[in-house]
Amino acid sequence: MAIYNRNSQTKINFHGFPALESEFSLAGYAAIIDAHKLQAPTPDNLYAIGKKHKKNTIGNWQIFTPRHKPKETLFGHLTFALKYEGIDLAVLNALFKTIDVKEIEEIIQSEPTGSYCRRLWFLWEWLRGEQLGITDAVTGNFVPVVNTNLQYAAKSIQSRRHRVNNNLPGTPNFCPLIRKTEVLERLIKAKLAETAAQQIGNTHPDLLSRAAAFLLLKDSKASYTIEGEAPPHNRIERWGRAIGEAGTRELSIAELEHLQTKVIADHRFMNRGVRSEGGFVGDHDRSTGIPMPVHISAKPNDLPALLSGLIDTHNLLKESDFDSVLLATIIAFGFVFIHPFEDGNGRIHRYLFHHVLAEKDFVPKGMVFPVAAVILERIEEYRKTLEHFSRQRLDFIEWRPTVKNNVEVLNHTADLYRYFDATAQAEFLFSCVEETVNKTLPQEVEYLKKHDLLNEFIKNHIDMPDKLVNLLIRFLSQNQGKLSKRAREREFDKLTDAEISAIEEKHSEFFT
C-alpha cells in the first residue's frame, strides 16, 4: 500500500533536491514518485505543502499553502499534479506500469464525468495502448488533455470515448512537453520572425546575399568546431550547402541517413545509418578503456520506433500554429538525445534547427540564421542544456561495457527518450534565436555596409585589385584597425606611410 503523508520529524531529502524541513509535506508528482518508488526522472520543479498561508519558492520546490493540500490518496495527488503542475508523461507512464489496473479503474469510476478522471482515463489508454474495462463516456463537456495555461499544446483532436480534446504535442512514441514560463512567453510575444523579416526587407538584395553566404559558412564551420573538429574548407562548404537546403526536403529516417553522408563523406571507419550497436557520449578510462559516459544513447532495438515517433510528431505539429522555435527544440534536441547514429548526430541535430525554422517560414527565404555560431559563443551554456537531460537519466540506465569498450544497455530505456520536459532546451534555443535576430544578423549587415564604404575609399585613392583590398580590410579588422608590421613589409610593402595612415584613419571612422 502506497503511503502519501510523508511529513515525518526528519528532513525530507528528495532525489538530489534541497532538503525540506518536517513542516512540509510532499504533493503532486513528488508524493507519487516517493510513495510508489517510481523509476522516472525527477521533474524540474517539485511541489510541497507548507504551514504558511502564502505560496513560496525554495530552490526548485514550489511551496503551496494548507488550503491547497490534496487528499492523501493517489487520486488526490494526481488531481493536484494535473491542476498545478501539468502533464508529466514520464511520471504517469511509470506510475501506470506500477499500479494495478483495478486501482486506476476505481479512480475513474469514482467520478466518471469528472474532468480530471476523464483526462487520466485518456492518458492511461494513450500511454498503455490498450483500453480499460470502462464503457464510453456519454455526458460531460469536452475538456483539453493539456492545460494550455501551464504547457504548450497542439491542435485538438476529439476523443469521443473519453470526451476529451487530445492536444498533446506528439504521439505515444515521442511526446516531449514544454512548460509555459515567463521567459518563453516574452520571447514568443517578441515576434522575432517579424523582426527578422523587417530587417531583411530593409536590406539591399546584394548586401543580403553576401551576408547570407558569409553566415552560412560561419554556421557550418561553427557546427564542426563545437564537435572539436577543424575540417578542410571543402567539407565546411559542402555541409554549408546542405544547411542552405534546409526545409526543402521532407523529414524522414532516409533523409536523416542521407544527411549523415553529407556530414561524413569518408565512412571507412564507421557504419552508416541507424546504429546496430549501443552508443554513448563521453570518454574511456585511460588505463582500462572502460567507457565513462556522460550520455547513453537509446538502445538499437528502440531506434525505429523512436525515430518514427519523432518524425510523426514533426508532421503533426508542422502544419499547425505550434510555435516554430518550440517545434525546432522538440525535434532537434529529441534527435540528439536519441543519438541514432555512430557519428554525425551533433551536426544533424543543429541542422534540424535550420530545417524546422525554414520549413515553418520563420526564416526568410535565402537566409540561414547562424544558430550554431551563436551556440559556439555560448558553448558552456549549451553543454549544461544537454547535460540537464542526460545527467539524471544515467541513474536509470543499467549497462555494462562490451569487448569493444562500447556500452550495452541491459534494461528498458525507450521511455527516457520519448517523454521528457524540454523547457530548459526551449529557453536556451529561443535565447540563441533572439541573439541571432537582434544582434548577429544586423551586425553582419552593418559590417558589410562599413566594409563597402572603406572599400570605396581605398579604390578612390589607390588602384588596387578587389582581392587585395578585401585582404587589407580583413587584416585591419583582425588587428584593431592597424596594419601589422608583417603586412606592411610583405603583402602591402608598396603602400606609403601616408596611404596606410589615411586608410587606418578611415577604418577607425567607419568601424568605431
**From CA 458, how far away is CA 474, in angstroms rounded?**
13
Q: Are residues 246 and 323 in the same domain?
A: yes
Domain closes at, from 84, 99, 114: 99
Within 8 A by CB and 6+ apart from 227, the residues are 346, 347
Domain edge (last residue) among 376, 404, 438: 438
Q: Where are the alpha helices (DSSP H) in 227-281?
A: 233-244, 253-263
In whole angstroms, what is the distance from residue 480 CA to residue 340 CA? Answer: 45
Verify that 69 and 202 share a domain, yes or no.
no
**Rounded CA gap, 151 and 178, in Å?**
6
Instruction: Flag whether 387 is in a domain.
Output: yes
Assigned C-alpha cell, 211 = 551576408
Instruction: Identify whether residues 482 and 425 lie together within a single domain.
Output: no
Look up the domain containing 501 and give its range.
462-511
pTM as predicted = 0.90
Q: What is the domain count for the chain?
A: 3
The candidate with the shortest Cα–Cα distance to 201, out of 445, 440, 510, is: 445
Largest CA distance in the chain: 93
Strand-pairing partners, residue 399, are: 409
Per the CB < 8 A criterion, the answer to whether 364 and 196 are in contact is yes
Residues 254, 385: one domain?
yes
Residue 217: what are its φ and ψ, rounded to 5°? -65, -40
Letter string b/e over residues 3-41, b meaning 16 or more CB atoms within 10 A of that residue's CB: ebebbeeeebebeebeebeeebbbbbbbbbbbbbebbbb
Task: Clarify whether residues 195 and 290 are in a common domain.
Answer: yes
Please report whether residue 117 resides in a domain: no
351 plus 474 within the same structural domain: no
Which residue, 390, 412, 312, 345, is CA-closest to 93? 412
Q: Are residues 257 and 379 in the same domain?
A: yes
Tens-digit pLDDT string for the chain (512 aa) = 566 665 544 455 666 666 666 678 899 999 999 999 999 999 999 999 998 888 999 888 999 999 999 999 999 999 999 999 999 999 999 999 999 999 999 999 999 889 999 999 999 999 999 999 999 998 889 999 999 999 999 999 999 999 999 999 999 999 999 999 999 999 999 999 888 888 777 777 777 677 777 777 778 888 888 888 787 888 888 888 888 888 889 999 999 999 998 888 767 667 788 999 999 999 998 888 899 999 999 999 999 999 999 999 999 999 889 999 999 999 999 999 999 999 989 999 999 999 999 999 888 766 777 888 889 899 999 999 999 999 989 999 999 999 999 999 999 999 999 999 999 999 999 999 999 888 888 888 888 888 888 888 888 888 888 888 888 888 888 888 898 988 888 888 888 889 889 888 888 888 87
Residues facing residue 407 across a β-bridge:
401
Give CA 367 to chain center in angstroms.
Answer: 22
Instruction: Please check whether residues 467 and 434 belong to one and the same domain.
Output: no
Domain boundary among 76, 99, 122: 99
166 contacts 195 by C-beta, under 8 angstroms: no
- Is 339 in the same domain as 260? yes
Q: Which amino acid is at 418?
A: R
CA-wise closest residue to 388 among 60, 137, 58: 60
Residue with cell 563523406: 265
Instruction: Let me know if residue 104 belongs to a domain.
Output: no
DSSP 21: -
**Residue 121: inside a domain, yes or no?**
no
